[in-house]
């Protein structure tokens, strides 16, 4: 993680940020408990009828263990949510954002204005310009026509699979 701002993060906040943008905070058990029980029962019904009751009792023991050991995970989840709210508050207060680094899996914390300036500078230095007209439909029709005329692909389902239903041009939010 690279911090380009004056924001100071606690050790806990740094640990959570170092998990990366793909990190998922564990949900409390009660959010998926009913589904877990239903799926376990569904799996039991696929077994031989003579084995169902013995496996059902073993599953009940394991489910009780999971349910009773939930206190640790619940406090971890609550603590991570608290830390996440603190990070978010700091970012909003300092008008900063978290972005993925150009290369690697590092996170960069940068002021929003500075980020916008860097994006603008990159676009102007590399001669990018905005299109006045959205030409996506024109190119989409050309792609569809080419696919229809392609002698290699005759299956209509394959052609439909290769077509994008509602294509949109990329937009840059800086």
> Among 46-50, 117-121, 148-152, which stretch is predicted with the lowest mean pLDDT?
148-152
Instruction: Summarize pLDDT for 61-78 with one digit per residue, the tens.
Output: 988 887 777 555 567 788
- Domains contained in the chain, number: 2
- Asked if residue 128 has pLDDT above 80, the reply is yes
Strand, coil or helix: 118: helix
As a whole number, the mean pLDDT across the chain is: 84
pLDDT digits (tens, 9 = 90+) for 16-51: 998 887 777 777 777 778 888 899 999 998 988 888
Q: State the pTM of this model.
A: 0.57
Q: Which of 69-73, 79-83, 88-92, 126-130 has the lowest mean pLDDT?
A: 69-73
Are residues 100 and 145 both part of a single domain? no
Residues 12 and 81 in one domain: yes
CA distance 125 to 137: 29
Residue range(s) defining the domain that contains residue 165? 134-174
- Write out the E strands in the chain: 2-3, 96-100, 107-111
Do 82 and 164 sit in the same domain of this protein?
Answer: no
């Amino acid at each position: 993680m690279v911090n380009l701002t004056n924001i100071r993060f606690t050790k806990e906040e740094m640990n959570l940020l170092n998990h990366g943008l793909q990190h998922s905070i564990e949900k409390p058990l009660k959010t998926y408990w009913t589904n877990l029980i239903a799926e376990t029962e569904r799996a039991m019904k696929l077994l031989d009828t003579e084995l169902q009751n013995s496996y059902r009792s073993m599953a009940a023991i394991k489910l009780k263990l999971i349910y009773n050991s939930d206190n640790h995970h619940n406090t971890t989840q609550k603590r991570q949510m608290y830390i996440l709210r603190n990070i978010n508050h700091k970012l909003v207060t300092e008008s900063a954002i978290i972005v993925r680094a150009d290369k690697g899996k590092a996170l960069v914390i940068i002021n929003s204005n500075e980020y916008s300036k860097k994006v603008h500078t990159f676009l102007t230095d590399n001669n990018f310009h905005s299109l006045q007209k959205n030409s996506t439909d024109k190119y989409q029709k050309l792609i569809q026509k080419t696919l229809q005329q392609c002698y290699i692909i005759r299956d209509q389902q394959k052609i439909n699979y290769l077509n994008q239903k509602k294509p949109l041009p990329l937009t840059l939010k800086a």
